Chains A and B, each alone.
Chain A
């Protein structure tokens, strides 16, 4: 037994060393052998996927039709259905109701005044919980007004207000359908799996092509991104309803529809609200990405500032997103709780029962009428806004002038000793060897099926001519994931073993997760400028959370009896950790790793903004050039990497579980 184990270890070690050496000297080797093609896949061998896909999409959009209904009719109808409510809310919050176009445009009714919006937020906060929440949310919105972010913030809020009901409602309906039809669920489950592993960028380009550049495209992308968790949570919540309640519903003589809407869904409302909160957070996460395909608002401000490298403006807009996210998140959570408790029945006249609504309504009427005379009531005066842009610029300037060497030293250290070696190995590795290793890995982790999948997907990336860019992607994500794991797992273990540390670490991670992904980029760019290192830090910050969470969860869940058994046999705390806690938590830690990789991959296009040369950049270029074939192929390549990582790690985790007897 021990001997076999040793031999296996020796083989694995030998392969790893050969791989590294081969990678490091791959270029020299290929020159020496005069076989450059083993490192650099010749462009003559690339299959024309891009043009085929471009052609296919063109056909889809120009000619495809079922009977008299063409594909464009369908997309137009969808766009129309989303556009109507969006325009209404946008007019209400941001642009006002206007008649006529261009110079003849006349404002019929201005947008809702900032005072009314803040009052409404206060009222909602008070209704959902208490004055504390009301003040927090109100302060967030006041901040937006005072710091001159109001107009953009309202545009963003409008798209959130459209995307969330569609995402949550649609997710609910699909979830209900899947619950009712078990075969439906069987079809849906792998699709949802896939949607959650495919990074958002893979479908940005096709959406852009179908719906055109603009807020509707952005909304569609956001909805596609934010809906899957709602579907999952809905089916799960419905299944979790006590079977006695279902029996009761049937015995009371409900029809199928009554059973669903009057028994099951109300009974599951608390879990459903968790799903809605998820949709909200994902929607806010998409704000900036969506601005790449035409969403205006705060996301656009950040994006534009990043492109100009206008640190101050970018930071302000980014902070505004954070503030908005905090307000919306807290409000929606409180609202969910409030829906869980049932409203106390109040009696009396309409006004007495709806004090807050009436108050806000009255305020609205007042600002609309009196606002004509006193503009302050309508718009927050531009002269009174504060800006911190200069302050941030100065701070950065100060830091860069006085601490340039220190920052540079850190950066150079990481680049020279960590990132560049990895990059060199990956880019120098002959692709036949790389694919062979991948297949071997797949075979040892999950048998011939997984091996086939590994070979197939890697082969597809190769023949699409994106091998080098894929390797840069693997390098960036790999380096970030290694760093995130090295930092995150110990943090998680610490959080699990020490209560006080646990509270602090949890708070830190929660805060990180509330922040939309782009926001990380801004301060990092300020200090380290564009480049791989900046991308690395941004990815690590974004992808840290699951590493910490899963490690903490895994360690906490190790059975108390086993820990006691270890204690009784005289383990020191360190031995306990090494021999009992960590091995048993390994499956969980691996799942955390999986999540970390997924988050890292989903940061890719964002990092393209800071000048990385990976698949993210490829998608980004395709977006700006509206080159659909290029975008789809690059998006698929990212998706393939994600799927490979996902399957390999899941198989590894399962093996670990079997080894520890947690599963058979």
Chain B
């Protein structure tokens, strides 16, 4: 992987409590016990991550594991106690007030768990808001806002107030609003957690569709591992403020770094995680219309099993790179750990 690093954090710590600063100064990497003994809370501890341009990077962890704190450190809504945050190679924590406002106005967008819509503005005014405060020309701003409102499928609801919309629709407004400034970097803090499961699925599909068109760099937070697996290019797993593993969904499932990670992945059917690339016999050539190497096993299993001969697998460029047979698929589907 040689993609450009869009956002990175190096040894970021966020401790809450009166003694936080002094503790970190005296001891740059205190243990969990030392943090507790100093009467502080370790919300984020020694976080190191690198997010590549154009990827969907999911931060996953249980409630209280520090996901929101970490993402707020990345956007500098919270000042980290120590560490650096590199955005396009520049330390965000050194930016002054004006520069920060500028970056947020043009380069970052954020979606919130409880939507955070302004109750006194209509859908259109809410979506326009980030442009309005930049004093963008009214007509241009409105045209742009209408465009994104349509993009998220809310055309016709421009004049409604947030409270007149369902939860799913409100979050669509939140999404539209975060996209109106065409940011490069898109933060989503548990955007679908407040929605019920059916709507959540629908919104996930919608999200993937949008990303297919927009190719943003995305930091997506969730506490739902299934959601993480569906959406992520890579996943970072957090526990008690620490990032304990960063990997693709497949690698997480196949090689969990700790028992804790294994515990999560255990409940996920492998077929939904593994792609053909990890299953095929490289170099072999099969029959029939080739399958995409990134296809998940669960999605193509039926075809493979129905075919007597192995099927060809191709990469994104259309090159045949291997073949997969029904035995391999059956192992994934019915073998150990295939079902929860």
Residues of A whose CB lies within 8 Å of any CB of B are: 242, 244-245, 247-248, 250-255, 258, 262-263, 266-267, 269, 342, 345
Inter-subunit contact A267/B75 (CB<8 Å): no
A345 CA to B104 CA in the complex, in Å?
Answer: 31
A243: shortest Cβ distance to chain B, in Å? 9
Inter-subunit contact A266/B161 (CB<8 Å): no
Inter-subunit contact B114/A253 (CB<8 Å): no
Inter-subunit contact B109/A251 (CB<8 Å): yes
User: Is B323's CB within 8 Å of the partner chain A?
Assistant: no
User: Among the listed B110, B116, B133, which residue makes an inter-chain contact with A242, where contact means beta carbons less than 8 Å apart?
Assistant: B116
Inter-subunit contact B116/A245 (CB<8 Å): yes
Inter-subunit contact A245/B77 (CB<8 Å): no
| Chain B residues closer than 8 Å to A254, beta-carbon distance | 101, 133
| Chain A residues closer than 8 Å to B103, beta-carbon distance | 253
User: Is B29's CB within 8 Å of the partner chain A?
Assistant: no
| Chain A residues closer than 8 Å to B115, beta-carbon distance | 244
CB<8 Å pairs between A and B, sample of 20? A247-B110, A250-B104, A251-B77, A251-B187, A252-B130, A253-B104, A253-B105, A253-B130, A253-B133, A254-B101, A254-B133, A258-B133, A262-B129, A263-B118, A266-B121, A342-B121, A342-B122, A342-B161, A345-B122, A345-B159
A258 CA to B114 CA in the complex, in Å?
Answer: 22
Inter-subunit contact A251/B120 (CB<8 Å): no
Inter-subunit contact B118/A251 (CB<8 Å): no
How many of B's residues come within 8 Å of A, CB to CB?
30
| Chain A residues closer than 8 Å to B104, beta-carbon distance | 250-253
User: Is B156's CB within 8 Å of the partner chain A?
Assistant: no
User: Among the listed B106, B112, B121, B129, which residue makes an inter-chain contact with A247, where contact means beta carbons less than 8 Å apart?
Assistant: B112
Q: Which 10 pairs show the lowest CB-CB distances between chains A and B? A: A253-B105, A253-B104, A244-B116, A248-B116, A251-B110, A252-B130, A266-B120, A244-B112, A253-B101, A245-B116
A516 CA to B101 CA in the complex, in Å?
Answer: 50
A550 CA to B120 CA in the complex, in Å?
Answer: 34
Inter-subunit contact B112/A248 (CB<8 Å): yes
| Chain A residues closer than 8 Å to B72, beta-carbon distance | 247
| Chain B residues closer than 8 Å to A255, beta-carbon distance | 101, 133
Which of B101, B105, B159 has the most chain A CB atoms inside 10 A of its CB? Answer: B101
Q: Return the CB mask of B202-214 against A: 1 if under 8 Å, else 0.
A: 0000000000000
Identify the closest chain A residue to B134 (Cβ).
Answer: A253
| Chain A residues closer than 8 Å to B130, beta-carbon distance | 252-253
A424 CA to B77 CA in the complex, in Å?
Answer: 66
Identify the closest chain A residue to B98 (Cβ).
Answer: A255
Also in contact, A267 and B101, with CB within 8 A (given A244-B114, A247-B112, A258-B133): no
9 more A-B residue pairs beyond the given contacts A250-B104, A254-B133, with a C-beta to C-beta distance below 8 A: A244-B115, A245-B118, A247-B116, A248-B116, A251-B75, A253-B101, A253-B105, A253-B106, A267-B119
User: Is B113's CB within 8 Å of the partner chain A?
Assistant: yes
A345 CA to B158 CA in the complex, in Å?
Answer: 12
Q: Return the CB mask of B64-94 against A: 1 if under 8 Å, else 0.
A: 0000000010010100000000000000000
A251 CA to B180 CA in the complex, in Å?
Answer: 13
User: Is B330's CB within 8 Å of the partner chain A?
Assistant: no
In chain B between 292 and 324, which residues have their CB closer than 8 angstroms to a CB of chain A?
none
B286: shortest Cβ distance to chain A, in Å? 49
A258 CA to B135 CA in the complex, in Å?
Answer: 11
User: Is B108's CB within 8 Å of the partner chain A?
Assistant: yes
Identify the closest chain A residue to B77 (Cβ).
Answer: A247
User: Is B102's CB within 8 Å of the partner chain A?
Assistant: yes
Inter-subunit contact A267/B129 (CB<8 Å): no
Inter-subunit contact A252/B105 (CB<8 Å): yes
| Chain B residues closer than 8 Å to A244, beta-carbon distance | 112-116
| Chain B residues closer than 8 Å to A245, beta-carbon distance | 116, 118
A256 CA to B252 CA in the complex, in Å?
Answer: 43
Inter-subunit contact B120/A250 (CB<8 Å): no
Inter-subunit contact B102/A253 (CB<8 Å): yes
A255 CA to B100 CA in the complex, in Å?
Answer: 10
A602: shortest Cβ distance to chain B, in Å? 37
| Chain A residues closer than 8 Å to B187, beta-carbon distance | 251
A258 CA to B131 CA in the complex, in Å?
Answer: 13
Identify the closest chain A residue to B102 (Cβ).
Answer: A253
| Chain B residues closer than 8 Å to A267, beta-carbon distance | 118-120
A250 CA to B110 CA in the complex, in Å?
Answer: 10
A242 CA to B118 CA in the complex, in Å?
Answer: 10
Identify the closest chain A residue to B178 (Cβ).
Answer: A251
A269 CA to B119 CA in the complex, in Å?
Answer: 10
A380 CA to B203 CA in the complex, in Å?
Answer: 66
| Chain A residues closer than 8 Å to B75, beta-carbon distance | 251
| Chain B residues closer than 8 Å to A269, beta-carbon distance | 120
Q: Return the CB mask of B126-169 against A: 1 if under 8 Å, else 0.
A: 00011001100000000000000000000000010100000000
A253 CA to B121 CA in the complex, in Å?
Answer: 18
| Chain B residues closer than 8 Å to A253, beta-carbon distance | 101-106, 130, 133-134
B112: shortest Cβ distance to chain A, in Å? 5
Inter-subunit contact B159/A262 (CB<8 Å): no
A250 CA to B72 CA in the complex, in Å?
Answer: 11
| Chain B residues closer than 8 Å to A263, beta-carbon distance | 118
Identify the closest chain B residue to A251 (Cβ).
Answer: B110
B122: shortest Cβ distance to chain A, in Å? 8
B136: shortest Cβ distance to chain A, in Å? 12
| Chain A residues closer than 8 Å to B121, beta-carbon distance | 266, 342
A242 CA to B105 CA in the complex, in Å?
Answer: 21
B61: shortest Cβ distance to chain A, in Å? 19
A258 CA to B132 CA in the complex, in Å?
Answer: 11
A395 CA to B112 CA in the complex, in Å?
Answer: 67
A540: shortest Cβ distance to chain B, in Å? 43
Identify the closest chain B residue to A243 (Cβ).
Answer: B116
In chain B between 175 and 226, which residues have their CB closer than 8 angstroms to a CB of chain A?
178, 187
| Chain A residues closer than 8 Å to B113, beta-carbon distance | 244
A272: shortest Cβ distance to chain B, in Å? 12
A474 CA to B101 CA in the complex, in Å?
Answer: 59
Identify the closest chain B residue to A253 (Cβ).
Answer: B105
| Chain A residues closer than 8 Å to B161, beta-carbon distance | 342
| Chain A residues closer than 8 Å to B122, beta-carbon distance | 342, 345
Inter-subunit contact A248/B110 (CB<8 Å): yes
Inter-subunit contact A250/B133 (CB<8 Å): no
A344: shortest Cβ distance to chain B, in Å? 9
A246: shortest Cβ distance to chain B, in Å? 9
A258 CA to B75 CA in the complex, in Å?
Answer: 19
Identify the closest chain B residue to A250 (Cβ).
Answer: B77
A149: shortest Cβ distance to chain B, in Å? 39
A120 CA to B219 CA in the complex, in Å?
Answer: 55
Q: Return the CB mask of B32-74 against A: 1 if under 8 Å, else 0.
A: 0000000000000000000000000000000000000000100
Inter-subunit contact A252/B120 (CB<8 Å): no
A512: shortest Cβ distance to chain B, in Å? 34
B129: shortest Cβ distance to chain A, in Å? 6
A248 CA to B180 CA in the complex, in Å?
Answer: 14
A527 CA to B102 CA in the complex, in Å?
Answer: 73
Identify the closest chain A residue to B187 (Cβ).
Answer: A251
Identify the closest chain B residue to A341 (Cβ).
Answer: B161
Identify the closest chain A residue to B129 (Cβ).
Answer: A252
A247 CA to B190 CA in the complex, in Å?
Answer: 14
| Chain B residues closer than 8 Å to A247, beta-carbon distance | 72, 77, 110, 112, 116
| Chain A residues closer than 8 Å to B120, beta-carbon distance | 266-267, 269, 342
Which of A242, A245, A247, A254 has the most chain B CB atoms inside 10 A of its CB? Answer: A247
Identify the closest chain A residue to B106 (Cβ).
Answer: A253
B228: shortest Cβ distance to chain A, in Å? 22
A165 CA to B106 CA in the complex, in Å?
Answer: 39
Which of B110, B116, B122 has the most chain A CB atoms inside 10 A of its CB? Answer: B116
| Chain B residues closer than 8 Å to A242, beta-carbon distance | 114, 116
A425 CA to B119 CA in the complex, in Å?
Answer: 60
User: Among the listed B102, B114, B119, B133, which residue makes an inter-chain contact with A252, where contact means beta carbons less than 8 Å apart?
Assistant: B133
A257: shortest Cβ distance to chain B, in Å? 10
A258 CA to B130 CA in the complex, in Å?
Answer: 11
| Chain A residues closer than 8 Å to B119, beta-carbon distance | 266-267
A263 CA to B120 CA in the complex, in Å?
Answer: 9
A269 CA to B72 CA in the complex, in Å?
Answer: 27
A248 CA to B121 CA in the complex, in Å?
Answer: 14
| Chain A residues closer than 8 Å to B118, beta-carbon distance | 245, 263, 266-267
